[in-house]
Amino acid sequence: MASTARRALVLGAGLVALLVAVLASLAVGSKAIPPLDVLRALTASDGSEASTIVRSLRVPRTVVGIEVGAALALGGVVMQALTRNPLADPRILGVSAGASLGVVTAIAAFGITTLAGYVWFGVAGAAVAGVLVYTVASRTRTGASPVTLALAGAALDASLGAIVYALLAVDARTFDEFRFWVVGSLAGRTPATALQVLPVLLVGAVLALAGARGLDALALGEDVARGLGHRVGRLRVGTGAAAVLLTGGAVAVAGPIAFVGLAVPHLVRALVGADHRWVLAVSAVIGPILVLAADVAGRVVTPPAEVPTGVVTALVGAPLLILLVRRAQRVVAA
């Protein structure tokens, strides 16, 4: 079990690494800007090209990267704890499919073609999907158990995904607009975009942190959690809402960036143990590091073109998924 001193050290090291990632995000790109010029641009705008690039383009992009990374990591922690599924990600509760359907509906039905316009449709679609999954699961014989939540989420993900692809197949204009969102990227995000989604993510983070002790108890089983004084039904609703708000808001604003919610919780638990208060706190730091690092890597691979952040995280995360599956198989065999 990790000691408090070690956990604090990990958190401190993570914060330092996050500062480095933020500086790299502000300095690296098709036009490299020296760190001192970045700092000058942050403190005062002198009208120079470097100042304009940093303040108008890279600061909003970096802020959104921090929001999205933290939200996906926190949402992944909650989803894996709530469903007791180590491979849980935003698809497990139908969140990604709900957000996708919301975005497609905004484009196809209302002609909205800007991110600032359809981000709320994505959030609403994710929220509705989460409510539907919980409602369907709670009406089964076993109630909203981890298994029924996962099954209901998988079924809804497939159903909503089919509707999305049907709409895209019959409307070329919607497909052209949707493909720029669905690849998962931080490019083109504005200060308004960052502010739009911030309240949703803050509420989700507060709910997740408030349920940390309950998630610890739930990991020992529902009967144990009840014996420790936790109301399991209320705990599931609160933490489920946290997962939907966090992942739904992040997916709506940046597209379905893969593997962050899957990979970060496993890495953090290996560093600080299973106490969800520490897992959530450290995940909120490690998640942005991963997203910003992937975004920076995507800028320098094929300059002046960029590889979207979601593509980079998928390339990195796919081997991790294979490793997790093999590890799970060995545990089952043992």
The domain spanning residue 100 has which CATH number? 1.10.3470.10
Helix (H) or strand (E) holding 30: none
pLDDT of residue 321: 65
pLDDT of residue 275: 94
Residue 99 contacts residue 248 (beta carbons within 8 Å): yes
pLDDT of residue 30: 83
pLDDT of residue 324: 61
pLDDT of residue 229: 86
pLDDT of residue 118: 84
Name the stretches of the chain with pLDDT < 70.
1-2, 321, 324-325, 327-334
d(CA 290, CA 8) in angstroms, rounded, equals 20
Residue 303 contacts residue 269 (beta carbons within 8 Å): no
pLDDT of residue 88: 79
pLDDT of residue 233: 84
Domain residues for the domain of 240 are 4-333
**What is the reported pTM?**
0.91
What does each C-alpha distance from 174 to 101, 106, 121, 182 come to in angstroms?
12, 9, 15, 12
pLDDT of residue 86: 80
Side chain identity, residue 140: T
d(CA 81, CA 150) in angstroms, rounded, equals 12
Q: pLDDT digits over 77-110, tens only? A: 999 998 888 877 777 788 889 999 999 999 999 9
* Residues in contact with 239: Cβ distance below 8 Å, sequence separation at least 6, in sequence order: 78, 81, 82, 207, 208, 211, 214, 215
User: Number of structural domains, the chain?
Assistant: 1
Pair of tokens at residue 33: 């800007």
pLDDT of residue 222: 80
